[in-house]
Amino acid sequence: MTRRGTRSGEFEIIARYFAPLASGAPLAFGLTDDVALLRVRPGRELVITTDTIVAGVHFLSDDPPRTVAQKLLRVNLSDLAAKGATPRAYLMNCSFPRDITEDWLAAFAGGLAADQAEYGIVLIGGDTTATPGPLTLSLTAIGDVPQGGLLRRKGAKVGDGIWVSGNIGDAGLGLRGLKGEELGLSVSLAAHTVERYRIPQPRLALGIKLKGIAHAGLDVSDGLVADLGHMCEASNVGAEIFADGVPLSAASRRALAAGKATIGELLTAGDDYELIFAVAAKDEPRLGRIVSRCNVKATKIGQIIRGRGVAVRDLQGNELKLARRGYVHF
Amino acid sequence: MTRRGTRSGEFEIIARYFAPLASGAPLAFGLTDDVALLRVRPGRELVITTDTIVAGVHFLSDDPPRTVAQKLLRVNLSDLAAKGATPRAYLMNCSFPRDITEDWLAAFAGGLAADQAEYGIVLIGGDTTATPGPLTLSLTAIGDVPQGGLLRRKGAKVGDGIWVSGNIGDAGLGLRGLKGEELGLSVSLAAHTVERYRIPQPRLALGIKLKGIAHAGLDVSDGLVADLGHMCEASNVGAEIFADGVPLSAASRRALAAGKATIGELLTAGDDYELIFAVAAKDEPRLGRIVSRCNVKATKIGQIIRGRGVAVRDLQGNELKLARRGYVHF
């Protein structure tokens, strides 16, 4: 790419790579008008969330640009999923190092385009700047929920079952593998963990259907124990979970068996982007019917109790001591 | 500040400095719920805009944190002003270098708090991360307009007068002075230009009242000539402006007289954050009455003509050759 050190570079990037992503959004005015209009459908409310990812902090500098785009978008869609929201639109702020290439930008935009098609979401605005530092990307996602239908962190009740979607711990293993750690995994299992690290699967269909069933919910970004702790804090309750009941992939089970990972590491690794939610025992049959229609599994891993904090117990009921509570970015 | 290199630093920063800024926003849930709800008042539409500023690119690393906060917020409010929108809420993404101090954060939050009070706007969400690079700040502002009341870049008509609020060129002089250039200014005049660089004055009252009068409008961020060019391009028209009619501050006139600045530099310097707008001749009396109620001056600097591009003319009608068209960040 010819980057001429002039501001027109910004306009060219926007026109070539980003404006086409807004072509399906008439209220974004082709990204030429500094603002976009947000319209609300009858009976719905708008929900907004934002996340920033920094090269070398939240993703690896040599991650494929397509998956960087997908991770950027999907970590925000995961926040919407955890609130029961349907994604509608997004804004994106990109600070590009000067050595970014045309190829990188094209693949990055391609990842966004693919996910726009998959999730029915469209770019409506943003800003593009240069930076002397690492690639820094912020994305602000807008979704909607039925009026009064927002799923909150608070609301979990003593006696509720604690449920989690998908598997826990894969993404943390993927990151460790990408950093060169030997985890005793086959190529296929290792590739699975890398994909889980790079391409979160926001649980949107499940999140939408949890309305009226889950008392509280959020997504796992900092690690299962840390994020469950956030739910407990907001809800003024405690939680106990059973390590042996936490759903693990074949890759995680293999790494455990090989002595390359501990259960504590898996429960506190970040980037799972699964949903944690609290459901009363009486609603478990209904939950089962919902889950079966969502192409994702859900597993009960413990229960909400009186008190504070999260206790992780083994099969004998003894509390495991964890070396850390959540993944450390900061 | 004790920064322990752990992710909890993020939560502490949010709890101590940012959550109080959201205390007036019940739908932000104290910034603890990953999302905020956006409500729309009857008869209004939501407008959203976002900008990123990077230390060393869009502001100076040693700019006072209070004014960094104010510039971050106000460049976005200026976008809302140019669209005729009333600011309501904002989200903020902060990537902080590890050496950021408690004092810096407190002053930064203080600048936001002051501007929240001044502009009736409230923090509703965001994200805080670490970065190995320069301080990088994105802000997404949400405002509202009467339904169908959005002022656009397009719509300027041949024969319209071209108007600009305030003075042009001060901020560019302020930046040059901060970088150590000798501009022949008294301390008082130099301080005025620095303030204009650091603390934009979004022309919100004027922008709101331009509805139904201005055919098109935008704010000057890249420089008068470049941004007027954007309006012309969107409107499929050309423009001619008269250099001697462009409103200049005492500081700019002094720098011109001292041979330390050229009119071309003033017309192409960025960061003015004044409004440019196009008004039919028949509406000038009405415009005059509006401006007199807005505590800001507005000056007619030229007219919309057939064709393309922006011609800057001297008193004899000859076109000035400009060394550049806009300010170069990228």
Inform me whether the C-beta atom of residue B285 falls under 8 Å from chain A C-beta atoms. no
Inform me whether the C-beta atom of residue A93 falls under 8 Å from chain B C-beta atoms. yes
Whether the predicted pLDDT of A1 surpasses 90: no
Whether the predicted pLDDT of A270 surpasses 90: no
Q: Are strands A44-54 and A298-305 parallel, antiparallel or unpaired?
A: unpaired
Pick from B9, B36, B47: CB nearest A330: B9
Inform me whether the C-beta atom of residue B53 falls under 8 Å from chain A C-beta atoms. yes
Q: Where exactly are the structural domains of chain A?
A: 8-146, 161-313
Q: Sign of the CA dihedral A257, A262, A267, A273?
A: negative
Cβ of B8: how many Cβ atoms within 10 Å?
17
* pLDDT for residue A219: 96
Looking at the structure, give the CATH architecture of the domain made up of residues A8-146. Answer: 2-Layer Sandwich (3.30)
Is the ipTM above a cut-off of 0.85? yes
In single-letter form, the type of residue at position A255 comes to A
Nearest CA in chain A to B10: A330
* pLDDT for residue B325: 66
Structural tokens at position A297 = 């599994």
* Close Cβ partners of A281 (under 8 Å, ≥ 6 residues apart): A159, A160, A161
Cα of first residue to Cα of last residue in chain A, in angstroms, is 33
Cβ of A286: how many Cβ atoms within 10 Å?
14
CB–CB of A136/A92 below 8 Å? no
pLDDT digits (tens, 9 = 90+) for A158-193: 999 999 999 999 999 999 999 999 999 999 999 999
Query: Do B6 and A328 lie within an 8 Å CB cutoff?
Result: yes
Burial class (CB in 10 A: 0-12, 13-18, 19+), A51: buried
Pick from A34, A47, A154: CB nearest B37: A47
* pLDDT for residue A32: 78
CB–CB of A203/A305 below 8 Å? no
Question: What's the whole-model pTM score?
Answer: 0.91
Q: Which bin fits A307, alpha (ψ -120 to 50), beta or left (φ > 0)?
A: left
CB–CB of B242/B315 below 8 Å? yes
Place of tokens 């660089």: B197
Whether the predicted pLDDT of A8 surpasses 90: no
| Per-residue pLDDT band at A330 (split at 50, 70, 90) | very low
* pLDDT for residue B186: 97
Inform me whether the C-beta atom of residue A123 falls under 8 Å from chain B C-beta atoms. no
Determine the average pLDDT of the residues in B302-314: 96
pLDDT digits (tens, 9 = 90+) for B60-99: 989 999 999 999 999 999 999 999 999 999 999 999 999 9
Report percent pLDDT > 90 for chain A: 80
Q: Tell me the chain A residues in contact with residue B133 when contact means C-beta distances shorter than 8 Å.
A: 54, 131-134, 136
Inform me whether the C-beta atom of residue A56 falls under 8 Å from chain B C-beta atoms. yes
* pLDDT for residue B260: 96
* pLDDT for residue A327: 53
d(CA A250, CA A235): 33
Whether the predicted pLDDT of A7 surpasses 50: no
Q: In angstroms, what separates the C-alpha of A13 from chain B's closest C-alpha?
A: 11
* pLDDT for residue A325: 66
pLDDT digits (tens, 9 = 90+) for A192-224: 999 999 999 999 999 999 989 999 999 999 999
pLDDT digits (tens, 9 = 90+) for A56-70: 998 998 999 999 999
pLDDT digits (tens, 9 = 90+) for A86-143: 999 999 999 999 999 999 999 999 999 999 999 999 999 999 999 999 999 999 999 9
Structural tokens at position A45 = 């409310």
Whether the predicted pLDDT of A253 surpasses 80: yes
CB–CB of B117/B38 below 8 Å? no
Q: In angstroms, what separates the C-alpha of A315 from chain B's closest C-alpha?
A: 30
Query: Do B131 and A222 lie within an 8 Å CB cutoff?
Result: no
Cβ of A31: how many Cβ atoms within 10 Å?
22
A120-159 burial string, b = 16+ CB within 10 Å, else e? ebbbbbbbbbbbebbbbbbbbbbbbbbeebbbbbbbbeee
Whether the predicted pLDDT of A238 surpasses 60: yes
pLDDT digits (tens, 9 = 90+) for B12-44: 888 889 989 998 888 888 787 888 999 888 899
Instruction: Pick from B3, B6, B8, B35 the residue to mutate for testing the A interface (most A CBs within 10 Å).
Output: B35
Nearest CA in chain B to A125: B49
* pLDDT for residue A220: 96
Place of tokens 């590491």: A265
Q: Please, what is the average pLDDT of chain B? A: 92
Query: Do B80 and A35 lie within an 8 Å CB cutoff?
Result: yes
For B26, which DSSP code? G
Chain A residues 294-323 with a CB less than 8 Å from chain B: none
| Per-residue pLDDT band at B168 (split at 50, 70, 90) | very high
CATH number of B161-313: 3.90.650.10
For B318, which DSSP code? P
Query: Do B40 and A46 lie within an 8 Å CB cutoff?
Result: yes
Determine the average pLDDT of the residues in A304-324: 91
Higher pLDDT among residues B106 and B10, named by residue: B106
d(CA A178, CA A193): 9
* pLDDT for residue B326: 63
Report percent pLDDT > 70 for chain B: 95
* pLDDT for residue B30: 77
Structural tokens at position A188 = 């296929």
d(CA B16, CA B23): 12
Query: Do A36 and B56 lie within an 8 Å CB cutoff?
Result: no
Nearest CA in chain A to B216: A33
Nearest CA in chain B to A46: B38
Pick from A40, A53, A130: CB nearest B57: A130
Whether the predicted pLDDT of A329 surpasses 50: no
For B212, which DSSP code? T
Inform me whether the C-beta atom of residue A30 falls under 8 Å from chain B C-beta atoms. no
As a three-state string, the secondary structure of chain A is CCCCCCCHHHHHHHHHHHHHHHCCCHHHHHHCCCCEEECCCCCEEEEEEEEEEEECCCECCCCCHHHHHHHHHHHHHHHHHHCCCEEEEEEEEEEEECCCCHHHHHHHHHHHHHHHHHHCCEEEEEEEEEECCCCEEEEEEEEEEECCCCCCCCCCCCCCEEEEECCCCHHHHHHHHHCCCCCCCCHHHHHHHHHHHHCCCCCHHHHHHCCCCEEEEEECCCCHHHHHHHHHHHHCCEEEEEHHHCCCCHHHHHHHHCCCCCHHHHHHCCCCCCEEEEECHHHHHHHHHHHHCCCCCEEEEEEEECCCEEEEECCCCCECCCCCCCCCCC
CA atoms within 13 A on the CB side of B121: 31
Whether the predicted pLDDT of A3 surpasses 80: no
H helix or E strand, kind and range, residue B84? none
Place of tokens 């917020």: B73
What is chain A's alpha carbon radius of gyration, rounded to the nearest angstrom? 21
CA atoms within 13 A on the CB side of A273: 24
In single-letter form, the type of residue at position B36 comes to A
Pick from A35, A153, A219: CB nearest B49: A35
Least confident of A290-304, B33-47, B126-140: B33-47
| Per-residue pLDDT band at B327 (split at 50, 70, 90) | low
